Structure formats: structure tokens, C-alpha cells
Structure 1
Amino acid sequence: MRFLALLPLFFLSVLAEKARFDNYRVYQVVPDNENQLEALVSLEDVGQVHDPVDVMVPPHKRDQFQEFLDTYKFRSNVKIENVQSLIDSETNKVGLRSNRMEWTNYHKLDEMYNWLDELAAQHPDKVKVVVGGKSYEGRPIKGIEITFGSNLTGVLLEAGIHAREWISPAGTSWMVNQMLNGKVDPVFKRFNYLYFPHLNPDGYVYSWEKNRLWRKTRTPYKLGKAVCFGADPNRNWDFHWNEIGSSDNPCSETYAGPKAFSEVESKTFSDYLKTVAEEKNLKVFVAYHSYSQLLLYPWGYTTKPSKDEALFNRVAKKAVDSLEAVHGKKFKYGNIATTIYPTSGTTLEWYYNEFNATLSYVYEMRDTGKHGFLIKKMDNLYN
């Protein structure tokens, strides 16, 4: 799901006080023809005809946006009446949480990292804490290695690359906990795992402390006399970098950075993976994002199918069929470029190309826009 925010250019990048979104609405807009699609593209890169786009509109822009909708005769509806009310509800619930790891509330970065240490202490024969890199502000990209046996295929589970997608580290941590406590299908133990819940730790901390809807890293970049913060860490990888679906504007949500691997996070994590991939027999890569209920695979930079399109499609169909059978939730699946929108410089495609991966997927977790990034935690754990 493409999420647009009609905000002043520097709002999301240079905000000093904690951001509030009182009476900001989220509209879901559906382009039914090429003319409408081109109008939306004038706001930012979007997907395809008939694909819904969520647009967050501040109160002082409502009339202007409604005129835009009327001019182009868009189908639309209000998905969220007041964004701040959802943030306040989430904040009030988080305030009641335990500092110990549990799965009814979200947890801060240090609590998540402490939980990884606890897993290693509880399962010393299976779990080892590892550091896969660092952030611009010096925080570690901390993870765990889970070993169920020797000579098994290695799986990378990656989460939290976009800071505001809190359900990504939350949902994957629940899954890992279930796995280690024997509450999942035994087939999961036919693999070994590397799990990293927070590929963007600076952004995640900032989303707690300053701006709940922050997406990018926290690297400062100059734009004239102003400074905008962060690049999109999922547009910064060195595979068809900045060719499509990204921006050269440092204040954009999809800023690709001044060059591939400009971000400390992407550079150090990619270097780490290159040092361990052969030893860990990494062949399967799964990244977790939110939201939209999608299961995606390469390519994103081109609509041409990859050499493994048939395999990717077959496995994805089985996965989404299983999700619907068990949980009653429909997931759309397909390659990135034709299923949602073209994009480049992503982890998914870099993994696939760099390591000749057998499988490489992105899950866009629940929901489809009712709460979006502000989904209640327990609503989304059971993907």
C-alpha cells in the first residue's frame, strides 16, 4: 500500500517537538483510469490503476484535497478520521505495558534487545546473540542466531527497516518465541535462522520519542540552508539503486540517499551478511513490513519476470492459501513491480542477486488500512 502524506516539505524531516496529528485524516483513494493515476503520481510515485492509495491529509488541506478528488472524480473514502486518536489510544495502552517481553503491547528498543539476551540465556544450546552492524547514531543492529542442527539451510528473518512499522518487529518476535518454545509446525526446525528485529534502530527510537510515523534513518542531509534527516533504508541497497520508485530529494520519504550504501545501517549490515552467508548457508530471505496484506517477490526494478518466477509464485500461493485457511485473511501475492509498484534498491532484490537465493520474499503484514501503521498489536500477530 502506498502511503502519502500531504505535509509541508520539511515537516517530517526537521521537526523538533514531538509530532502530533490532531484531526489528520487518512483517505483511501482508488485510481480507476490512467488520467487519475497520473494525477496521483503528481503527489508521489504510486502503483497501478485500481490499486488503492492511502493519503494522510492535515485539517488545513482538507478542502484543497477534496477539490482535487472532485476534479478528477476519484472513488475515495475516509479510512481514519483522526490519526492522533489512534496514536493516543496506542500510547495509553503502551503506558500500561510490562518491561518484560510479552505480546499484548509494543516494546521499546532496549526491551527488545534485552529479550534477545534472555532468549540466549534460556536456550544456550540453540540461541546465540549476534551483532549485524550499527546505526548512524551508534546503536547496534542486534539479532540472534538460532541453530536447530548442522548442515541445514539458513533463513534470514529481517524486520523493522521502516521505523513506523512497529508490527513488523512485534509480529516476528512473537513468531520466533513460538518457534523456540515448540509451538509451531516441526517443519520450522528443518532450518537454521538469523533473526534481526530492528534494521533501523535510530528510526525506531525516534518513532517512540518524537514522531510515531517516522520511516527513515536519522542521517542528516543538507537541502540548501535546511537540513532533512534520513534516507529510506529500503531504497539504499546496491542493486539497481535509485533507478525507479525512489527519490533524490532528501526530504522525501523514499529518499534513496546520495549513493548506494550511504547509510551506516545498510552498509554495515550488508557487509556482515557477506561475511556469514556461506558459513550459515543462507538461501532463504524473508523481510517483514506493514501494511497491506501482501506477499511479494522479485523483481521490483523491472516488470520482466525473474528466472525463478514460477517457483516464487508457487510457494507464495501455498503460503497465502494457508494463511486464509487458518486465519481467514486474504493476502495478494506476486512480483513487486506488477503487484504494487516498481521500486529499486531494496533488501529483497539485493539478497536475491548477491547470494543467488533460493527464495526471497517480503511480507506486508496486516491490515489493509483500517488502522494502517497504528494497528493494535494483537490484531496482527497471527499471520
Structure 2
Amino acid sequence: MKLVRSPLCAAAAAVLLAVSASPAFSADDPATEMRLLRQQEKQRTNIYKAYFPDLATARKAAITFHANLLEAQYDTGFLVLELDALEIATLRSYGFRVENAPEFIQRRDEFLNQIQQAADARAGAATQGTTDSTTGAITRPVARGDASIQSISGYACYETVEETFAAAQGFATSFPNLAQWLDVGDSWQKTQGLGGYDIRVLKLTNSATGGTKPKLFVNSAIHAREYTTAPLVLEFARWLVNGYGTNADATWIMDHHEVHLMLQANPDGRKKAEGGLSWRKNTNTAYCGATSNSRGADLNRNFSFGWNSTGGQGSSGTPCNETYRGPTAGSEPETQALQSYVRSLFPDRRGPNLGDAAPADTMGMHLDIHSYSQLVLWPWGTTSTPSGNATALQTLGRRLAYFNGYTPQQSIGLYPTDGTSDGPSYGELGVAAFTIELGTSFFESCTSYNNSTKPKNLPALIYSAKVVRAPYQIPGGADVTTLSLSNDASGAGVAAGTPVTLTASATHTRFNQSNGTEPVRNVTAAQAFIDVPPWSAGATPITLAASDGSFNATTEAVSGTLNTTGLSLGKHLVFVRAQAASGQWGPVTAQFLNITNVTPPANNEVEPNDSRATANAVAAPATWSGAMGASSDNDYFVVNLPAGATLTATLTPNATSDYDLYVYNASGTQLGKSERGLGLVDTVTLTNTTGAAAQRYVRVRYYSGGTGATNGRYTLGLAW
């Protein structure tokens, strides 16, 4: 059946006639533009509840009619969609019952009114101006209304474009060894000199570590109104950056893999959506008129691979349609930036035919994060014929859907889509590609996002980052779900030579079985590795045993003993993996192993440690309480700082004392110091840029004030 969807054209036409006599909106008058666009939005009343005959048909309709979809109520049996007469007839032919949705229209209008009132209040405050105390002159700034939006009204949990960019820049500024904020293109408005934005990618990896690093690429918010998408991916970035050095899995991922995040793939459109508009496309005024809120191209129908390949079923050639594909393949600058970046990341490992498979050992993965529908999708969307990698994609898709509870399926609905984002990644290059449809609405409440969407989907992103070295293979192995070390070896640490017992749980059961059945196999083996992961040269496996004596179940408790003899002082990584009966090893899970020779007493002077040679070895993160025994006292501590890690040493003295803080390398060269004064906190921060783990000596020096167990107290915090 050939369908050309155009749910918005008729509704937009009347408003366009009303505003056509007005001058085109200018970049200098955003408040007026947004007011008129909100008026247009409220004219869109062809909105319906479509009660579905069964959940499987509902999921397919959510894919096919994604551009029309406004809300999904799977539990109560209906979708809210914007539909024309042909689309209503189509849904009815699939067993849907369709009726008007006045409640949705009322809620939408109330929200738009709330947004407009907030914009008016900002504009009013701005135009009141300021009075010069000498001359009495009043200065009135230009009222920019929506241009001053710093958060989305009613949705404080979602960062704006500017807040997203500021957070990403903050990572790059504060952690230059872990994060880069790359400019990879321009939005449509920027190419036209109408403001706009750079298209940017946040690249995350430990630049001090080498080796072959497989790449995970994630883009979000390519459809502007999908509020949850960019915040979720930004939260993933926070987990990686803030977890480096404190979370073992975040640390090894950053050391051995690369993560590339295009947080705002459609920033011009996103700004419209931040103003309350149900904006999907980019803002190109060449399509559907410069003053229409139906203008622009659907960026996720504009990609070059498979563009306009389904005879009009998978996208529209009508400019006002929400799935307008653009005049030519890859015509939009946002699309060009994304597909060019993907091509720069991954080699071509797939043949030209739809049935050609990429080799099983192909590295890399692409996630396109959308909302909503609660789906995990993989190619193809242009045809119901499975791809050459269909079985492996299905296995990984069911893994991802295990975490969020969504339905895993091939990305074709009631009929095809074309020109989508998996074209350059899987279609051209053979990289495993998935679309995850988050949540149940475009403007999802913060309560729902924080309590459901974010905690369910962040683990899916983390799992993706773990398996990206071989996404067509690793998901077939067993998962390590818990991992612990005895003797508080991951906390306060143990002396080198102390035997450490490792216990873990391994399972091959974590698949979403809601749409077909994934084979579940017994766990047959488990291994541990210290510092060198299993894919690296020189890796030495430590065989772990089944705690019940034999590997004969789909979930097994495993254990083993780690020999710590000869390990250097400081923090080490222990990698653990498990094998399924198919012979496939699963992803690694890691834990820290801290090696220290001496545990400083909590409330006494630390002696002897008056020189680097007698320094107390400590494993960060740690907080030590010590004392200055005499006015000639110095206390030394030594830490083993990983390559690329940033050490922060914080010295808090007695309120009546002045102690100073210094950091040296192993040869005694001073690398940093803080000498602030009586009762003041001293802090030294420095990064290990040597490319290898290195010892750093921290010195606490008496300068003036109290001494002894009571008056000479200090607290030293060490972290990285």
C-alpha cells in the first residue's frame, strides 16, 4: 500500500493564510516568532485516540506512524496520534478503533499558554530596563522572549541546548585527558547566518592509554521534540567521566574504548521544542514556508543510504509533511555532519547488497536515541527481509531490551521507512546499529524520566559500551553480574602478598524474551585478569571455579584466589568474564584491587614517615587523619597514580595551625604545592601525563601553630 502522510498540512494552511500578510520572522524577533508558532500549534486539532487490537500491532503502528505519534498508553490500550482521513482509514483496516482526543488537546493548549506566559514575563522584566542613578536615563534591552530560555518550563530535569553544550564543554575543560568537545558541522540556521549552532560531538576516552580502541557512537535529539533523549545521553557522559578512577567499569571503558556522543543532533529544532512546540524536523525555511511550524526536513528520512527507496511509503515528498525527506539525499547540513562523522569513525566492512553481512568480528556500534514507543530496533526498516547480521543484531537487541523492558524487534512497522540514521552506519559500513525509543511521550514528565526512563536505559548504554569491541559476538556470552573481593581489597586495600578471594555471579539469562525466544545456555567457565584485559597481549587468565563444584546451570556462583605478590602499590583493575556453552565469552566486569603496605592509624601521629623513603603507601580514594608531632615534622605518603588520572590532594589543618602541602614525583621533583596560611585548606591537583602509572609523593609540612595529638591534628584526603 502506498501512503503519503500529511497530517499537518491542512491544519497549518489556515494559520499560514492568517500570518502570510505579516513580514517573515527574523532572527532578531524570536519572541514574536514563537508567539505566532504557538498559535499555529493550537490550530492542530486533528488529534485522535487509536485503540489497538493487540500490543504487537500497536508496536508496529508506533514505528510506522512515529511522526504522527503524540502519546502512547500501552497499559490502557490506545495511542494518541495526529491523523488525516487516509491514515484513520489505514489504522481501522488493521483493527484500530479511532475517536477524538479532546483531553490531549486541552492539556497541550494549557502547556502552550503556560510557556507563553513565562515568555511574556521574561520579556516584561527585560523591557522595564535599568535607571542610571546620576542621569535618570532608562536603558531598555531588546526583549528577546524565548531566546532567554535557560530551562524548559515545567521540565527542569531536561537541559536546554545551551546547558547541554556547557556541560560538555565543562568535561573537556576540567578533564582534558578524558574529554574532547569537537565541532563537526553546522546547523541549518548557522549556515544561513541566522544564529544557529555548531553540531558537536563529545569524545570520551583516556587519551593517555593506547591500543586499538573500538568506538561507540551515540546521537540523540535528531527529532527535536523528544525531550528525554539528550538528557539521557548526557547522563551517560557524566557516568563515564565522573566514574573514572572511582567506578571500575567506567574506568576500563574509558581506558580501552572510545565513546562519541552527538548530544544535540538537531539544535535549531530543539530550541523550538524547548518553547513548547511539537517540533520534529530541522528549521529549514525553504520547505513549507518561512513562517510555518511545519517547515523543515525530517532529518531521520534524509540520510543518503536508502533515501526515498520505498516508493513513497517510508517518507514523504510533501514539504509540510512531518516525514518530508528533503529534496535530495543528504541535503541537510545536520544530516551531512552526522553521516560524515560516522564515516570518519568506522571502516567499511559490509558489501553493497542488502543481504550482505559484516564480518562477525566487526568492531563498533551506533545508537540513535529517540522517544517514544518503548522499542529497541535494528535494521532493516526499508524491508521485512532480515539483514545479513540479523541473528546477531537480534541477540544484542534482546540484551539491550533486558535492561529497559522494551520490545526488541526489526525496525519495520506496518510498512517501511527509508533514509534513516542506521543507513551510514550499518547500511554503508556494517556497524551494528540500533534505535532505542524511550518512554511513553515526547514531553515526558520529570517524575517519569527520573524514576523510570533514566534508570532503565542508562544500563543499556553502559552495556553497549562494554560489548563494542565485538557487538556481533560478545552478547552471546555470559554476563558477570556481581563481583567482590575479600579483605576490603577494593576499599582500604591489602598489603602485597595477601591472598584475596574473588567471588562473582555469572549468568546467561539476561535477554528480553517478550518477542521471540533467545536460546539460554549453561555457564561453562569464568576467568579473572589483573590489570591486563583478556583482549590485550600479555593477558594472563586466572581460572575461577564453580562454587557448587561444577558448571552445569544457566546461572553460576564462581570464586577464585588472587595472588597479589609482586603487585605495585596503588590501585589495580581486576577483569572478570564468563563463557556460555556456545563457547562465546561475554563482556568483562571489573573491580578495583588496592595494594597498600601500611594503614595509617586514625588518631595518632604517623611515624616514621619523615622522608620519601619512609612514606606510607595509601590507595585512593582515602581520607587519613594524622598529627604534626613537632615543629620539625614532615609526613610523607605515596600513591600509585594511573596513566591519565588526576590526583586531588586536600589538606585540612587544625584551625589554629598552618600546615603546607606538596606533591613530588619519584625522583623528588616538586610537581605542585599549596601554602595558604593559618587554618586554611590546601589543595593540589595534578594529572599523570606520562602515559604509564607513576608514583606520586604527598608531603604534609609543619609551618606554624599547634603540634601533638590534640593541637596538631590534620586530615588529608586523596582521590582521583
TM-score by length of 2: 0.43
Counterpart position of 1:302: 383
Matched, 1:354 2:428: yes
Counterpart position of 1:333: 408
Matched, 1:82 2:107: yes
Q: Does 251-260 or 150-159 show the bigger shift?
A: 150-159
Q: How far did residue 107 of structure 1 move? A: 2.4
How far, CA to CA, are the matches of 1:378 and 1:173 in structure 2?
18
Counterpart position of 1:252: 321
Q: How far did residue 221 of structure 1 move? A: 2.6
Q: How does 1:219-258 map to 2 (within 5 A)?
A: 219-221=284-286, 229-244=295-310, 245-258=314-327
Contact 1:289 1:365 (C-alpha < 8 Å) held by counterparts: yes
Q: How far did residue 54 of structure 1 move? A: 2.7
CA displacement, residues 129-182 of structure 1 (integer Å, 9 cap, x when unaligned): 101211111121012110144322101010110111121111111121122211
Q: How does 1:90-129 map to 2 (within 5 A)?
A: 104-129=156-181
CA displacement, residues 170-207 of structure 1 (integer Å, 9 cap, x when unaligned): 11111211222116954744521111111111111222
Contact 1:167 1:375 (C-alpha < 8 Å) held by counterparts: yes
- Residue identity in the other structure for 1:366: G
2:50 is matched with which residue: 29, 37, 55?
Answer: 29
Counterpart position of 1:215: 280
Q: How far did residue 18 of structure 1 move? A: 3.3
- Residue identity in the other structure for 1:196: M
Contact 2:199 2:337 (C-alpha < 8 Å) held by counterparts: no
How far, CA to CA, are the matches of 2:346 and 2:309 in structure 1?
27
Counterpart position of 2:215: 154
Contact 1:147 1:193 (C-alpha < 8 Å) held by counterparts: yes
Contact 2:215 2:259 (C-alpha < 8 Å) held by counterparts: yes
How far, CA to CA, are the matches of 1:180 and 1:290 in structure 2?
25
How far, CA to CA, are the matches of 1:113 and 1:54 in structure 2?
33
1:343 is matched with which residue: 399, 417, 421?
Answer: 417
How far, CA to CA, are the matches of 2:166 and 2:66 in structure 1?
39
Matched, 1:200 2:252: no
Q: How far did residue 270 of structure 1 move? A: 2.1
**Residues 13 and 266 (structure 1), Cα distance of their counterparts in 2 relative to 1, 3 Å cut:** farther
CA displacement, residues 74-118 of structure 1 (integer Å, 9 cap, x when unaligned): 4357573522334567889999999699x9522221221111110
Q: How far did residue 223 of structure 1 move? A: 6.1
**Residues 356 and 216 (structure 1), Cα distance of their counterparts in 2 relative to 1, 3 Å cut:** same
Q: How far did residue 310 of structure 1 move? A: 0.6
- Residue identity in the other structure for 1:170: P
Q: How far did residue 45 of structure 1 move? A: 8.8
Counterpart position of 1:375: 444
1:314 is matched with which residue: 366, 391, 395?
Answer: 395
CA displacement, residues 338-371 of structure 1 (integer Å, 9 cap, x when unaligned): 5x642110111321122221x210110012xxxx
Counterpart position of 1:327: none
Counterpart position of 1:287: 368
Q: How does 1:13-52 map to 2 (within 5 A)?
A: 16=33, 17-20=36-39, 27-30=48-51, 32=53
**Residues 377 and 204 (structure 1), Cα distance of their counterparts in 2 relative to 1, 3 Å cut:** same
Q: What is the CA RMSD across the aligned residues, in angstroms?
A: 4.3
Q: How far did residue 273 of structure 1 move? A: 3.1
Counterpart position of 1:134: 186
The structure with the greater share of residues assigned to strand is 2
Contact 1:12 1:214 (C-alpha < 8 Å) held by counterparts: no
CA displacement, residues 270-317 of structure 1 (integer Å, 9 cap, x when unaligned): 223333435xx9721001000011100000011100011111111111
TM-score by length of 1: 0.76
How far, CA to CA, are the matches of 2:263 and 2:291 in structure 1?
32
- Residue identity in the other structure for 2:280: R
**Residues 255 and 282 (structure 1), Cα distance of their counterparts in 2 relative to 1, 3 Å cut:** farther
Counterpart position of 2:12: 10
How far, CA to CA, are the matches of 2:341 and 2:116 in structure 1?
35
**Residues 6 and 237 (structure 1), Cα distance of their counterparts in 2 relative to 1, 3 Å cut:** closer
**Residues 54 and 240 (structure 1), Cα distance of their counterparts in 2 relative to 1, 3 Å cut:** same
The structure with the greater share of residues assigned to helix is 1
How far, CA to CA, are the matches of 1:11 and 1:184 in structure 2?
56
Aligned residues: 351
Contact 1:4 1:55 (C-alpha < 8 Å) held by counterparts: no
Q: How far did residue 234 of structure 1 move? A: 0.4
Contact 1:13 1:230 (C-alpha < 8 Å) held by counterparts: no
Of the two, which has the highest radius of gyration? 2
Counterpart position of 2:81: 55
How far, CA to CA, are the matches of 1:165 and 1:26 in structure 2?
18
CA displacement, residues 327-346 of structure 1 (integer Å, 9 cap, x when unaligned): xxx301111015x6421101
1:181 is matched with which residue: 242, 250, 272?
Answer: 242
* Structure 1 gap ranges (5+): 324-329
How far, CA to CA, are the matches of 2:14 and 2:169 in structure 1?
34
Contact 1:13 1:251 (C-alpha < 8 Å) held by counterparts: no
- Residue identity in the other structure for 1:180: V
How far, CA to CA, are the matches of 2:223 and 2:68 in structure 1?
18
* Structure 2 gap ranges (5+): 20-32, 123-147, 191-196, 348-361, 458-720
- Residue identity in the other structure for 1:253: E
How far, CA to CA, are the matches of 1:122 and 1:84 in structure 2?
42
Counterpart position of 2:226: 165
Q: How far did residue 5 of structure 1 move? A: 5.0
How far, CA to CA, are the matches of 2:271 and 2:429 in structure 1?
31
| Identity %, equivalent residues | 21
Matched, 1:265 2:310: no
- Residue identity in the other structure for 1:10: A
**Residues 26 and 179 (structure 1), Cα distance of their counterparts in 2 relative to 1, 3 Å cut:** farther
- Give the match's secondary structure for 1:321: helix
